[in-house]
Amino acid sequence: MAEIFTPFLTAFILAYALRPVCLWLERHRLPRAVAAGIAMIIGLAVLFSILTLFVTLLKTEIPLIKAQFPEWIQNTQSWLGPKLNELHISFDWGTLKTTATQKITEHLNDNSEALMSSTFDTVLMSGSSVIAGFVNAVLILFVMFYLLIDWDHFFRLVRKIVPLRAQDTVCHLAMHADGLLSQYLRGMLTVIAIMSVFYGVALSVIGIKGAVALGVFTALMIVIPYIGITLGFTLAILAALLQFGPSGAIIGVLAVFGLGQFLEGFFLTPRLVGERIGLHPVAVVFALLLFGKLFGFFGVLLALPASAVGLVLFQYGWSRYTQSPWYQK
């Protein structure tokens, strides 16, 4: 079932995110179909830019790993060798260095085109055949285009399905959820823009290669709570180790990410995104695992907004329950 729903869910997410762009273009007297097409082109350009950033990071890091790995083993031997000798433990460092270097060279590929192709296949096809992936991509674009064109008409049809006695309540909840998600999307875009500049400039000052790409990638990963910033931090530490080894650059990276988390967590997110979502960290992790299992990569992106909508529904249900005669008795 997940394979069937994922393309439609993906199209709906993208259409919802691009609808403000489409409406802005319509207000400038562009026909709706043309506005929808331009909005889709903009959205696809943003997605392609994110993939390009990811490939740029890999293209920068992989050659460094190849070049620095033998030196890592040498430094480890210098530090660990005497301790092992004291314990009368012999270790063939030469064989380890040769074998490990050979394996690293065989398995790491610094061909950026191959990496982009592999990433694209993994995200869109999730292990399916090339034809199935192509069909899914075309289906996503098709559904997204018609959702952008017929958004209002689609929700008018949905409203007709709802019983008359419940329409006011459903519309109120839908508007509440829409306001919540709109605030979330606008706020997150602003936070991502600010943190991209912060991480890009700060890592450049430290001297990290590919600092701009790494900074933008780290800021984009903010949309995946906890996991995203951990990934960005790990990549930055790895980049510093590859370039400078165990040095003051590591402390610099720690300081940059510590300050970045303080700035984002205590100032930007509360002010720009707001605390209306208010999910417990355990609930966030559970939502990430659940939606990721059901819908793959796009489910991870959907987890927090969907959980926020679920919270709106839960709060409404709880309010009705606590006001019911059965509860008050």
Write b or e for each residue in 167-194: b if 16 or more Cβ atoms lie within 10 A of its Cβ, otherwise e.
eeeeeebbebbeebbebbbebbeebbeb
Q: Note the pTM of the prediction, 2 decimals.
A: 0.62
Round to whole Å and give the CA distance between 270 and 59: 35
Instruction: Provide the pLDDT confidence category of residue 259 given band limits of 50, 70 and 90.
Output: very high
Give the pLDDT confidence of 38-48 residue by residue, as tens digits: 999 998 888 88
Q: Which pLDDT score, from 0 to 100, does residue 279 have?
A: 62
Is the separation of the CB atoms in 218 and 229 below 8 Å? yes
Over its C-alpha atoms, the chain yields an Rg (Å, rounded) of: 25
Give the pLDDT confidence of 185-210 residue by residue, as tens digits: 777 788 888 988 899 899 889 888 77
Give the pLDDT confidence of 238-248 residue by residue, as tens digits: 778 777 766 78
Mean pLDDT of the region 153-159 = 82
Is the separation of the CB atoms in 304 and 185 below 8 Å? no
Cβ neighbour number for residue 196 with a 10 Å cutoff: 18
Amino acid, res. 86: E
Cβ neighbour number for residue 10 with a 10 Å cutoff: 24
Q: Which pLDDT score, from 0 to 100, does residue 112 have?
A: 45
CA atoms lying within 13 Å on the CB side of residue 277: 28
Q: Which pLDDT score, from 0 to 100, does residue 297 have?
A: 65
Amino acid, res. 145: F
Q: Which pLDDT score, from 0 to 100, does residue 101 have?
A: 62
- Mean pLDDT of all residues belonging to the chain: 76
More reliable by pLDDT, 298 or 8: 8
More reliable by pLDDT, 113 or 192: 192
Q: Which pLDDT score, from 0 to 100, does residue 127 have?
A: 47
Report whether pLDDT(28) > 70: yes
Report whether pLDDT(157) > 90: no
Q: Which pLDDT score, from 0 to 100, does residue 266 have?
A: 78
Q: Which pLDDT score, from 0 to 100, does residue 255 have?
A: 92
Give the pLDDT confidence of 261-278 residue by residue, as tens digits: 888 877 787 777 655 566
Report whether pLDDT(125) > 60: no
Give the pLDDT confidence of 57-91 residue by residue, as tens digits: 667 666 666 666 666 666 666 766 777 777 777 76
Give the pLDDT confidence of 127-155 residue by residue, as tens digits: 445 577 778 888 888 988 988 898 888 88
Q: Which pLDDT score, from 0 to 100, does residue 52 have?
A: 81
Report whether pLDDT(117) > 80: no
Question: How wide is the angle at C-alpha 216 spanned by C-alphas 260 and 39, nearest 5°?
Answer: 125
More reliable by pLDDT, 101 or 194: 194
> Phi and psi of 30, rounded to 5°?
-90, 145
Mean pLDDT of the region 210-216 = 80
Q: Which pLDDT score, from 0 to 100, does residue 327 have?
A: 76
Is the separation of the CB atoms in 212 and 200 below 8 Å? yes
More reliable by pLDDT, 107 or 238: 238
